[in-house]
């Protein structure tokens, strides 16, 4: 069981939340829950609907689209933001490659937070841009 202080430190290390103050981070800590995944567990299944955003606290996950590994995400990375921002089926599956600890946040809490704190949507845009760039580089 993590203390609020430990959760705040953890959230501070996540790019989306890096510019937020301690009070905001403590509020977010109360909205999130911790989930553990074992190696091989499917956290998100391509094509399903979902309204949870995930942050990797510890461990590694693979993003698998149409059976192909398209990315590997690790500590402090975020995933599940696409279906959260635009309620379409999940674009890929996400599978733990080892014992992985995740921080989970529901859509309503995330949307409310984005409305209250402009730093958060800016961080989300940055993440999306980075992934779009990586996808373009892979195509070149
Ligand atoms: P979502 O579509 O909600 O669920 C699957 C998630 O995998 C997706 O959100 C992204 O967070 C992540 N994802 C999909 N494609 C890629 C990619 N090419 N690189 C990194 N992450 C991805």
Residues 81/88, Cβ–Cβ less than 8 Å: no
pLDDT on residue 82? 93
Which atom of ligand 1 is the closest one to the Cα of 83? 3
Q: Is 46 in the pocket of ligand 1 (CB under 6 A)?
A: no
pLDDT on residue 117? 86
- 76, containing H or E segment: none
Q: Is 28 in the pocket of ligand 1 (CB under 6 A)?
A: no
Question: What are 58-69's pLDDT values in tens digits?
Answer: 999 999 999 999
Ramachandran sector of residue 17 (left: φ over 0; alpha: ψ -120 to 50; beta: rest): alpha
Q: Is 79 in the pocket of ligand 1 (CB under 6 A)?
A: yes
Q: Could you tell me the sign of the dihedral formed by the alpha carbons of 89, 121, 28, 35, in that order?
A: positive
Residue segments in the chain with a per-residue pLDDT below the cut of 70: none
């Amino acid at each position: 069981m993590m203390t609020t202080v430990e959760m705040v430190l953890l959230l501070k290390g996540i790019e989306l939340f890096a510019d937020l103050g301690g009070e905001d981070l403590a509020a977010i800590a109360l909205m999130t829950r911790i989930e553990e995944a074992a190696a091989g567990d499917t956290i998100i299944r391509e094509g399903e609907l979902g309204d949870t955003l995930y942050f990797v606290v510890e461990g590694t996950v693979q993003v698998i689209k149409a059976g192909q590994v398209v990315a590997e995400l690790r500590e402090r990375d975020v995933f599940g933001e696409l279906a959260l921002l635009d309620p379409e089926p999940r674009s890929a599956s996400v599978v733990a490659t080892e014992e992985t600890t995740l921080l989970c946040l529901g859509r309503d809490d995330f949307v409310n937070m984005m409305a209250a704190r402009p730093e958060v949507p800016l961080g989300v845009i940055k993440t999306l841009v980075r992934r779009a760039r990586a996808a373009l580089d892979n195509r070149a």
